[in-house]
Amino acid sequence: MDGNVEREWFSVIVEVTGDGAAELVADAAWTLGAPAVEERVGPQGAISVVTGFADAATAHRLVEEVRTRSLGTARVETVTDLGLDAWRAHARPESAPPFVVVPAWLDPSDLPGVPLLIDPGHTFGSGSHPTTRLVLSRLATLLQSAGSAPHRVLDVGCGSGVLAVGAALLGASAVGIDIDPGAGPATLANAELNGVADRVTFDPRPLADLAAHVRRGRCGEGFEVVVANLLAPVITELADDLFEVTAPNGFLVLSGLLADRWRATVDALPTGRRVIHVDREADWVAVTLG
Ligand SMILES: C[S@@+](CC[C@H](N)C(=O)[O-])C[C@H]1O[C@@H](n2cnc3c(N)ncnc32)[C@H](O)[C@@H]1O
């Protein structure tokens, strides 16, 4: 990786207005290929979404989208920093019991927990975000309490593959899917890094295709555990297919939901499943449906 090459970076700062606008802005940024999106809460509770792109045109497309959808006020700042990989120098191990998510270039020995080595490249899923850690811990509890039979896990929006690899380290076989073209290679490389390449696959098809397979009975009854660390609008959009790919006695773990708004998202989901766990860290929750 050319981690220390100095280059221009187009940071987009959006001061959002209105309920749910932050999630819509973040969703738009992910869709445009942002490698990271951060939500900041100001002293008076004002919310801003900060993201960035390697090219000015994409940054301005996001600004335009914010303007036409009246999501807030947006500006672009040109930053010259050490490049997209500058964050690597500051990355540190993150605890998500029973795991410790370790940047692949650091030494995992002497850290408490099951080491989960991750190099996210430019995908999402370094383990530094609460939404990832919440799912890792819940996944471990679900798989461990379900006994020793092999389990099939689907990771929808796998990014770096951190959740799929975590599931495989616990003995499950895991399939990752994602719309980001970088996610497949990253997931498979991280599986290899952790010695679980035989239990992790990446499926390039969209979720709707997998759901159709399950409907036609070509994929058994579905996956015993489905994890989806997405944003609320994406969860809403994919809800029918997420339910379809989850086996009747399986669990669906939804993350990326804001603590003060998760209920509205979950209430609007299809019926037939009930909330059995709500795990929270900072402003985020992961909701498990059984
Ligand atoms: C917040 S990241 C989660 C990454 C990783 N699973 C984790 O927990 O850290 C969300 C991921 O969902 C992917 N995504 C967004 N919309 C999607 C869709 N409709 N189908 C599949 N993946 C999607 C994004 O590309 C991104 O990699």
pLDDT tens per residue, range 53-81: 878 888 999 999 999 999 999 998 877 65
Please compute, for residue 131, the number of CA atoms within 13 A of its CA located in the half-sphere on the CB side: 24
Same domain, 36 and 120: no
Same domain, 170 and 238: yes
Among 62, 86, 110, the domain boundary falls at 86
Same domain, 156 and 213: yes
HEC profile of 146-199: CCCCCCEEEEECCCCCHHHHHHHHCCCEEEEECCCCCHHHHHHHHHHHCCCHHH
Same domain, 76 and 116: no
The mean-pLDDT minimum among 15-19, 31-35, 225-229 falls in 31-35
Same domain, 32 and 164: no
Which CATH number goes with the domain that contains 114?
A: 3.40.50.150
Residue 156 covered by a domain: yes
Give nearest CA residue, ligand 1 atom 14: 157
- Of 172, 165, 116, the residue nearest 143 (C-alpha): 172
Among 86, 115, 134, the domain boundary falls at 86
Q: How far is the CA of 182 from the centre of ligand 1 (A)?
A: 11
Q: How far is the CA of 110 from the centre of ligand 1 (A)?
A: 31
| Residue 214 CB–ligand 1 contact under 6 Å | no
Q: In total, how many domains does the chain have?
A: 2
| Residue 284 CB–ligand 1 contact under 6 Å | no
Same domain, 166 and 210: yes
Asked if the model's pLDDT at residue 198 lies above 80, the reply is yes
141-179 residue pLDDT tens: 999 887 766 799 999 999 999 999 999 999 999 999 999
DSSP character string of 88-111: GGG---EEETTEEEEETTS--TT-
Domain span holding position 27: 7-86
Which ligand 1 atom sits closest to the C-alpha of 123? 27
Residue 1 covered by a domain: no
Which ligand 1 atom sits closest to the C-alpha of 131? 8
Residue 87, SS3 per DSSP:
helix
Residue 186 covered by a domain: yes
Which ligand 1 atom sits closest to the C-alpha of 135? 8
d(CA 74, CA 83): 22
Give nearest CA residue, ligand 1 atom 11: 157
Whether 153 contacts 172, CB under 8 Å:
yes
| Residue 226 CB–ligand 1 contact under 6 Å | no
| Residue 41 CB–ligand 1 contact under 6 Å | no
Among 86, 114, 145, the domain boundary falls at 86
Same domain, 155 and 109: yes
Helix (H) / strand (E) element for 219: namely strand 218-221
Same domain, 82 and 97: no
Residue 4: the pLDDT is 43
| Residue 241 CB–ligand 1 contact under 6 Å | no
